[in-house]
Amino acid sequence: MAIIGFIGLGIMGRPMAKNLIKAGYKLVVYDKYAKFDDLVSLGAEGATSNKDVASKSDIIITMLPNSPQVKEAILGTGGVVEGIKAGTIVVDMSSIAPAAAQEVGAALKAKNVDFLDAPVSGGEPKAIDGTLAVMVGGEKKVFDKVKDILEKMGSSVVLVGDLGAGNVTKLANQIVVALNIAAVSEAFVLATKAGVNPQAVFDAIKGGLAGSTVMNAKVPMILDGNFKPGFRVELHIKDLQNALDTAHELAVPIPLTASVMETLQALKVDGMATNDHSAIVRFYEKLAKIEVRK
């Protein structure tokens, strides 16, 4: 069985790595900024650097905050590229700019190393239970070699196109999610201000055309006043910035995305950067001077 190197053990990466260990894979793990004793206690081997991970692995998975961290971990000093063997497969499951994924892929190709960009959706709860949606860009023959591994972390694993397509798909996902939360927020603030019980509104509309996975996941949190992060505001800002940058490069106007980006920025200014992105409702609550709660 292939040895898997796993770099990036934060909110998402740690439970993803645990699911691979539970599935019987041998892992070599490393995170520059986080301890990983818990994973070692489960049977993983702790590494001393990204380079060390690469030298000991057949397949390497990275799960990092953004493009600069991915490029540093893979291409930087002491990075994966310094210890990697020809024939290794690198799968970046971070959410980064599509152009950055293509840049990393080109650098690895020069070392005879295959690369896939495979960002995920579902947040911490789905990372924990192994039901993430995984959207993959790259060559099918490479995808086929790692699909079984990815399916230990996700319930939906889809090859969406060439290298970079995974992250384009993730940006599309993040636009839909952000705008959906904003729409839900506007609607429920209006209903609450009008004196209608928001729980009753939720029960009435969730089964109709307005119903969505986002509504089902976020409205119960809003009604409980629970903004503990499954996916932080600051991370959604990062994703929408990548979406805006990519859209501008392609001459595609995305005005609704720009609008909700400013809402997220306002939340950050108000000290809510580490809240769950369902805190978008708090922006509207502040404007209307009402809280959407049970």
> Mind telling me the catalytic residues?
170
Q: What is the dihedral of CA 201, 205, 206, 210, to 10 degrees?
A: -120
Could you tell me the two tokens for 163?
């290298």
Q: β-strands 132-137, 120-121: how paired? A: antiparallel
| Beta bridge partner(s), residue 158 | 135
Q: What is the dihedral of CA 140, 142, 145, 148, to 10 degrees?
A: -70
Q: Do residues 239 and 174 make contact, with C-beta atoms less than 8 angstroms apart?
A: yes
Give the type of residue at 247. Answer: A
Q: Do residues 175 and 257 make contact, with C-beta atoms less than 8 angstroms apart?
A: yes
- Which residue spans within the chain are E strands per DSSP? 3-7, 26-30, 45-46, 59-62, 89-92, 114-117, 120-121, 132-137, 154-161
